[in-house]
Amino acid sequence: MSVINLSAYRFVALDDLPALRERVLERATALALKGTVLLASEGINLFLAGPREAVDAFMAWLRTDTRFAGLEAKESLSDDTPFGRLRVRLKKEIITMRMPAIRPEGGRAPAVDASTLKRWLDRGHDDAGREVVMLDTRNDYETDVGKFTDAVDYRLASFTAFPEAVAVDRARYAGKTVVSYCTGGIRCEKAALHMQELGIEHVHQLEGGILKYLELTDGAHWQGDCFVFDGRGAVGADLLPSGEIPLLDGEKAGIRGQSCDAFASKQTPSDAFASTRPSPQSSPQRGEEANAVGASLHKNREANISSARRHLGEA
C-alpha cells in the first residue's frame, strides 16, 4: 500500500486566513496531494492523501509556521487515494458545534493517552478507583460501524445536538471518570470543554481519538471498525481499509473533510442510548435541533451524498 492518509488538527488562533489559504493551497497542489483542509479563526483541520515523500514534505513545510510546530498527524495506508480532488476552505469552525463560548484554542480539557486508557479499561476503573464511562461524541451512522464496549451513544444526527443531549444526562456521570472520544480527537476537544462548563467533574478527552488508540494499542475494548469520511468507508483495528462499507465513487470527492454534520446518516430505529450502563434518569430524546436534522435526512444513500456535497463543512 503506497498511499499515506493523513489526518491532523490544531486549535490555534489564526488571523490571516485568506493569505494562509492561498499558501496551503499552493503547497499542497505543488505536491499533488488530494483531500480537504479546513481553516478557521479557531484553527486547522486537515485530511490529505498522497505518496510518503509528498505528505512528509507538506507537513514539514506546515510546521515551519510556529502556530503549527509540533502538529502531529495520524496516518493510515491504502492502495488508492480516497479523495478525488484537493480543497482548502475557510470556515466559521473547523468542527461545527455552534457554541461560540467553547474555545479549545484558549485551553483544553485534560486528556488521557491510549495506553493509559487501555489500562483503565482493563482494570475497570481509573487510577483513582473511579468507574470509567466512555462517551461517543460521533454521529449515529459512525457508531453503528464500531465503538468502545459499553460506550454511551446518544444516537446523534449531528454534533450540534451533543450539548443538549449531554446537558440533560449529566447526572449519569456523577462520581465517575468520563472519557469523550471521536475519530481523531477534534470533536471530543469541544465536547470535554462543554462538559466541564456543565459542572461535570473528572472529564477527559481521548488523545488522538480512535485512530490513535488503534495505532498505539492492540485494539482491546474496541468493537467493529472505525468509520472514516473518505473513499475507504471504514478502517479496521489494523487501520487498513476494512471493505465493510463500499462507498460510491462520488464519495471520493472530499466528504471526509467536512465537519461531520452534513453527511446524512441512515435511519436508526431507536433514539435511546445504546450504552448498556443504566442511567440515573430516563434517557433523553434527541434535542429539537437533532430532531430537525434527523427529519431532513434523505431516505436513500445517493440523496444523502448529494446533501453532503451541498453542505460540505458548513459551519
Active site residues: 182
Three-state SS at 6:
strand
In contact, 110 and 116? CB cutoff 8 Å: no
Look-up: residue for cell 443531549? 165
Write down how long the chain is: 315
Beta strands in 105-236 (DSSP E): 111-112, 132-136, 146-148, 152-153, 177-181, 203-206, 222-224, 226-227, 234-235
29, containing H or E segment: helix 17-30
In the sheet with 34-40, reading across from the earlier edge strand, the strands are: 74-78, 3-11, 43-50, 34-40, 86-90
Name 170's Cβ contacts closer than 8 Å, sequence gap at least 6.
Answer: 195, 198, 199, 200
Helices 114-123 + 209-216 axis angle, to 10:
80
- Residue 56, Cα to own-chain centre: how many angstroms? 23
Q: What is the largest CA-CA distance in the chain?
A: 55
